[in-house]
Each structure stands twice: as C-alpha cells, then as structure tokens.
Amino acid sequence: MVTTSSTSNAVKLIYDTDISNDADDVSALAMIHALVDNGEAELLAVVTNSNARSDRTASTVDVINTYYNRPNIPIGVTKVTDLQEDGSWYGHNLYKMFPQDTPNDEQVADAVDVLRATLAAAEDNSISYIQAGYPINMASLLRSEPDEHSSLNGIDLVRQKVKVVVMMGGQYPHPGTEWNFSRNRPQDTKYVVDTWPTRMVFAGSEIGWRMYSGTSLQNVPVSNPVRYTYEVFKGFDTPNNAITDGFHSWDPPAVLWAVRGDQDLWTRINEGFNQVNDDGSSQWQTWRDDDRHEYLVKTQDDSVYIDIFDELYIRPPINIDDSLAIQTESNLVVDPFTGAGSKELSLDNNFTVTYSLGLSSQEISNSLDFSWGVTSSEVSELILNSFSNIEPTIFGSNMQVIPEIDLIDDI
C-alpha cells in the first residue's frame, strides 16, 4: 500500500536534479520526502539532468523514492547527449544494495515528456520547480512543441502551470563562474534565465558552501540509503567521508525555501536582474530591474540551517509497507526503515557474525546461509572479505536478490 501525506496547502513540487554527483543531491531528495511526510509538500515528478558514468541516475532516485514508500513517482532523464560525463561515489552501487525497479537511464522516459505530462495535469499556477544541477531539462522543456499531453508549446505551458522556479546556480551578487551554470551547455543556462516566463528565485552556491551537514546520519540505521551515500562519498574537502566530515549544503537551501519560504531564514533581493553570459558566467546587475528575478541571502548563522537540514535528513519514513522487511534464518523480522539502536557488526575469532538492524542482536555461524540486505559499505566489506561464499539476500515481496556488491567502482 502506497500512501502520501499531503494537504490542500502542500507545495506541489517537481525536482530536477544532477543526482549521482554529490552527496547533497541525495539528501535534498530525502528532505523533500520528509517534507511530504509532514504534509508540507507533494512530490509530483523527479527528472535528472546529468550524464552519470553509472548510467543509473533514475535508479538512484527510485531507491530514495522507494525507501520513503513512494515508488511510483514518475521519473525522467535527460536525453541530451553532448554532456560531460560525471562520476559518482555512490551511483554504481546504491541501486544494487537497496530496493528499486528502475532500469538504466537509456530505458527511462525522456525528462521532457515527464515534465510536459506532469505540468499538463497540474492546476494552473500551482507548480514549484526546484532546479538543482544543469538547467538542460528546463531549456528542452521551453523549446518543446505541443504533443499528446498539451496543445501548448513549452513556454506557454510553463507560463500557465509554473508558479516559481527555485534555481540552485550562480553566485550572488558577485560575478563569477559556477558549476551548474557553466559545466554543461552554458548556452542553455543563458537561454533559460533570459526566457523562463515565470518567477525565478536563485539560491547561489555561496549559500551552502562549507555549510557542512549530514553528520547526523551516523545515528540512523544502516538500512537508510542516505546514510550509505554519505558513508561512501568523499569530496575534495571531505578526507574521511561525508558522514564523518559533513558535506556542503548546496541543494538543500533551494528545497527548504521552495517549501517553507522566507520564514526568518532568508531575505530576497529583487532589485536588478541575473545576467548570464554565453560561457555560463553570471553577475547580478542593478542598472535595470526584472520582476522575474530574485536571489536568496541568509539571515542566520550556518548552524541554524545545518540543524534544520540534519533533522529532515534523518526523519524515518512514514506509511511503511509491512512487506518490506529483512528476515534472518531465525525468522527475526527487522524493519529496514525504522530500526533503532543498531550495533556495529563485528567478527570474532570463531568467525561468528554479530549484528543488529535495530530490534535485537543475532549470531549466525558461517555454516548457515547469511540473510542480509541493505547494508553500510563497512558491513558489506566485512562480509565479503570474511565469507567468500555468502550471497546477501533481501526478502519481501518488494525486495530483490543482490548477488554481489561492488564497494567503490570506477569513480
């Protein structure tokens, strides 16, 4: 049974992400689900905009959606081909280790088709579009022609359905070149910023830079895929991993503002306009106003935002499907979503594994089949190094058999 917590006042969201690049791509999606659980938002569709080497951006999204018991949210991927390739610390393995049923990106629907279908079905002026990554899907949407979903072209469809786009990109108010705006098809960035027909709120990279969030994920069960993401992710300034050091909070501010607005956390600057150049560099200009353009400025210390983000990252999902459980040889049923008080897996001299996913510990000798499923990278490595004949298995009607787990693969 799949249910969602939404109210008539819930913010209707489309999330456009370059997931597989950074750890906060995953935690931002987890934030959205936590806000949906809280009745503050409704997630209508997710589209991806990166050329990930893993070819599994949609599967990664589906892992998170499924973990939060929303496996049927439409997912689309960009079909633009002239993109630089992005590596991933987690994209090669996340889809193997956690339940999901989405194929590789080549077999997933075109993002533009998903966007047009979602917008056509929405009420007028109802959609908040969160852009985190390269704005290539936005450009393709604007250029789209009438189809079976709507008789409107892309610009007119956006004008009719989208209330606001919250765009993580650029840096404000100072001039410069920023990753999302300039790495892939910067001409698309310029086209979108110049052409998008509705309100645009820019969350610059300066907001989340060195706003290290995510260490709270150490306190959630190893069955949480967001925890796994932060465990295996290492960035240029996260020498250990993101769960130990935290990671920049680039995308979460856009999510937070899209759903909760200013509160006492943000000031919006709307005098001027965002000028984007052909190379994707940008500068906030003040010699004229554009009533579409605004950018966010923090009003609190970074610690305030980190606390908000971390609290949303670790909220357990609600509306859990009881069939999703991990079962051991002794018929101990462990809820992979809400397990509490999990212990570190250890290996004693008798080659007995002692582990807990939240309810109790269980010892299983290496002569028995070891029933295991969604594990942290450390647990996976320990199992694979210690028991060459073990095949981790997930039980349950919505689970899958995982014959092998690659720890870090071709970053």
In this predicted structure, what is the pLDDT of residue 319?
Answer: 65
In this predicted structure, what is the pLDDT of residue 303?
Answer: 98
Q: What is the pLDDT of residues 350-359, one digit of tens each?
A: 323 333 333 2
Query: What average pLDDT does the segment 46-71 reach?
Result: 93
Query: What average pLDDT does the segment 315-334 reach?
Result: 48
Q: State the Cα–Cα distance between residues 281 and 69, nearest whole angstrom.
A: 40
Q: State the Cα–Cα distance between residues 318 and 328, nearest whole angstrom.
A: 24
Q: What is the pLDDT of residues 271-319, one digit of tens each?
A: 999 999 999 999 999 999 999 999 999 999 999 999 999 999 999 998 6
In this predicted structure, what is the pLDDT of residue 216?
Answer: 97
User: Where is average pLDDT lowest: 60-74, 110-124, 144-158, 324-338?
Assistant: 324-338
Using pLDDT thresholds of 50, 70 and 90, give the confidence band for residue 261.
Answer: very high
- Does residue 50 carry a pLDDT above 80? yes
Considering the domain delimited by 11-313, tell me its CATH architecture: Alpha-Beta Complex (3.90)
Write out the two tokens for 270: 């709307």
The three state secondary structure string of the chain is CCCCCCCCCCEEEEEEECCCCCHHHHHHHHHHHHHHHCCCEEEEEEEECCEECCCCHHHHHHHHHHHCCCCCCCEEECCCCCCCEECCCCCCCHHHHCCCCCCCHHHCCEHHHHHHHHHHHCCCCCEEEEEECCCHHHHHHHHCCCCCCCCCCHHHHHHHHEEEEEEECCCCCCCECCHHHHCCCHHHHHHHHHHCCCEEEEECHHHHCCCCECHHHHHCCCCCHHHHHHHHCCCCCCCCCHHHHCECCCCHHHHHHHHHCCCCCEEEECCCEEEECCCCCEEEECCCCCCCEEEEEECCCHHHHHHHHHHHHCCCCCCCCCCCCEECCCCCEECCCCCCCCCCCEECCCCEEEECCCCCCEEEECCCCCCCCCCCHHHHHHHHHHCCCCCCECCCCCCCECCCCCCCCCC
Sign of CA dihedral 34, 36, 40, 41: positive
Write out the two tokens for 209: 């830079």
- Does residue 322 carry a pLDDT above 80? no
Using pLDDT thresholds of 50, 70 and 90, give the confidence band for residue 45.
Answer: very high
User: Where is average pLDDT lowest: 126-130, 244-248, 323-327?
Assistant: 323-327
Query: What average pLDDT does the segment 19-48 reach?
Result: 96
In this predicted structure, what is the pLDDT of residue 7?
Answer: 60
Query: What average pLDDT does the segment 396-404 reach?
Result: 30
Percent residues over pLDDT 90 in the chain: 67
Percent residues over pLDDT 70 in the chain: 76
Domain ranges of the chain: 11-313, 323-411
Write out the two tokens for 50: 């990166």
- Does residue 391 carry a pLDDT above 50? no
Contact 196, 138 (CB under 8 A): yes
Nearest of 49, 291, 29 to residue 189 by alpha carbon? 49
Q: State the Cα–Cα distance between residues 394 and 373, nearest whole angstrom.
A: 5
Using pLDDT thresholds of 50, 70 and 90, give the confidence band for residue 320.
Answer: low
Q: What is the pLDDT of residues 165-215, one digit of tens each?
A: 999 999 999 999 998 999 999 999 999 999 999 999 999 999 999 999 999
In this predicted structure, what is the pLDDT of residue 81?
Answer: 87
Using pLDDT thresholds of 50, 70 and 90, give the confidence band for residue 67.
Answer: very high
Query: What average pLDDT does the segment 221-239 reach?
Result: 89
Tell me the one-letter amino acid at 390: I
In this predicted structure, what is the pLDDT of residue 35?
Answer: 98
Query: What average pLDDT does the segment 143-153 reach?
Result: 99
Average pLDDT, the chain: 80
Query: What average pLDDT does the segment 396-402 reach?
Result: 29
Beta bridge mates, 393: 401
pTM of the model: 0.79
Instruction: Write the CB contacts of 388 (distance below 8 Å, at least 6 apart in sequence).
Output: none
Nearest of 157, 267, 160, 153 to residue 203 by alpha carbon? 267
**Virtual torsion, Cα 133, 131, 276, 85, nearest 10 deg:** 20
Stronger pLDDT, 213 or 388, i.e. the higher one = 213
Quickly tell me which residue has 């509160």 as its tokens: 263
- Does residue 138 carry a pLDDT above 60? yes
Stronger pLDDT, 120 or 404, i.e. the higher one = 120
Nearest of 56, 51, 58 to residue 15 by alpha carbon? 58
